[in-house]
Amino acid sequence: MTTAPKTEKRSRIQRKNRKLILEAALDVFSAHGYRGSTLDQIAEQSGLSKPNILYYFQGKEAIYQHLLANILASWLEPLEAIDRDGDAVEEIIAYVQTKLALSQQHPRQSRLFANEILQGARRISQQSKDELKVLVEATAEKIRAWIEAGRLASVDPYHLLFSIWASTQHYADFESQITMILGQETLGNAQVGALDEQTFEQAHAFLDMQFRRLLTP
């Protein structure tokens, strides 16, 4: 009679603790990178003991790999959503705006990924790399088809995507530089979003204009 409630309570606590661990790890890894982060830092940030963390994850790398996989999944989804049958310019613009929104809402994820890339992408699984490559190639093929049909200006598909990633992720990865130049107040070590809403509204408008002019035949 009491097994189900106890199991439900235990599962609820487990979900809560996993979320605490992953949130703390995201703070730590995005600020210090993989090499500069420790389980002790994650334990302190989460308010859980180190043995408690090891109950849920095998170690630092397991937590890191979990975060990386989640980040890539969230980034691949809007790329996959680009509709070959939609309006070519509007589909690309929508992707640009989605990527910028991800930088605004999830700056820590962007910085964690940037740190990993700077370290040579050694801890991104081969499966994730293959999924990214296949999806980018499929997107490049959509772009080529639009260009051939006269629905999009002639651009290199790969460098277009590189440019989109660079210009949108800049607002997360170089947040401190932007706040310094614009004279905005930074929040501690900038682990949370420090850019104000107006800055992102201006960024949305500028990137819309930039890519619309570039892509319109």
Q: Where are the alpha helices (DSSP H) in the chain?
A: 3-32, 39-46, 50-56, 60-80, 88-105, 107-118, 126-148, 157-173, 175-182, 197-215
SS3 153: coil
The pTM assigned to this predicted structure is 0.86
Distance CA 152, CA 123 (A): 36
Model confidence at 80, pLDDT cuts 50, 70, 90, reads very high
5-35 as b/e: b if 16+ CB within 10 A: eeeeeeeeeeeebeebbbebbbbbbbbebbe
Query: Long-range CB contacts (< 8 A, 24+ apart) of 6-10?
Result: none
pLDDT of residue 53: 93
Domain edges within the chain: 66-215
Distance CA 83, CA 3 (A): 48
pLDDT of residue 2: 44
Q: Which two tokens stand for residue 203?
A: 């960024």
pLDDT of residue 7: 57
The superfamily in CATH containing domain 66-215 is Tetracycline Repressor, domain 2 (1.10.357.10)
Q: Reply yes or no on whether the pLDDT at 190 is more than 50.
A: no
Q: Which region among 34-38, 57-61, 148-152, 179-183 has the lowest average model confidence (pLDDT)? A: 179-183
CB atoms within 10 A of CB 128: 18
Q: Reply yes or no on whether the pLDDT at 94 is more than 90.
A: yes
Model confidence at 139, pLDDT cuts 50, 70, 90, reads very high
Supply the DSSP symbol for 59. Answer: S
For the chain, what percent of residues have pLDDT higher than 70? Answer: 90
> What count of Cα atoms within 13 Å lies in the side-chain half-sphere of residue 4?
1
pLDDT of residue 168: 97
